[in-house]
Amino acid sequence: MATTRGCSVPDDLLYHVSNNQWLRDRGDGTYELGMTDVAQSMAGSVIHCRIKKAGKGVRGGKSLATVESGKWVGPVKAPFDCKVLEKNEAVEQDPSLLNKSPYRDGWLVRIEPIDPEAAAETLVRGDEAVKGIEAYMDDREFEGCIHCEGFDDGQ
């Protein structure tokens, strides 16, 4: 697993850097999606999360979920045109999972891209993901991640 400025960047995941999201290829043309360690750290303690219902189509750039913390309320945007297959009800019941386990228990939705080839072109991994995340952090003058007790990096 790579780390940058104390932030975990698991090697087995894909990243949509500008949306600050990770995606896990489920091997069947679908993805599990969540907020990166950087995103959850920047948001602070998450206190509420509302996720789109399964069966909904969502255009790229539109909201898949709304996340609220003590410092921020905002959308988690779809990285590409997709259909929501499943939402993580555990996160709606316990939004702190986004902070404690961003790469395992804190997934938000399972999605299916409308155009799989176009979707794949928006995602990066490995060194390219780390470089993109570092640039994202630089642009926002974000110094790095600080983890709460019980943090699970997904490995």
71 vs 132: CA distance, rounded Å: 24
Sheet with strand 63-69: strands edge to edge: 46-51, 63-69, 73-77
User: What is the reported pLDDT for 148?
Assistant: 66
User: What is the reported pLDDT for 7?
Assistant: 94
Q: For residue 126, give the 3-state DSSP assignment.
A: helix
User: What is the reported pLDDT for 155?
Assistant: 58
Residue 100 lies in a domain: yes
- Domain range enclosing 40: 2-139
Residue 88 lies in a domain: yes
User: What is the reported pLDDT for 149?
Assistant: 64
Residue 121 lies in a domain: yes
> Nearest Cα to 50, choosing from 103, 97, 21, 91?
91
User: What is the reported pLDDT for 70?
Assistant: 87
Alpha helices in the chain, H assignment, sequence order: 37-43, 89-93, 97-100, 116-121, 126-139
Q: How many domains does the chain have?
A: 1
Domain of residue 86, CATH code: 2.40.50.100
> Assign residue 136 a region: left if phi > 0, alpha if psi is -120 to 50, beta otherwise?
alpha
Residue 155 lies in a domain: no
Q: Which residues of the chain have a pLDDT value below 50?
A: none
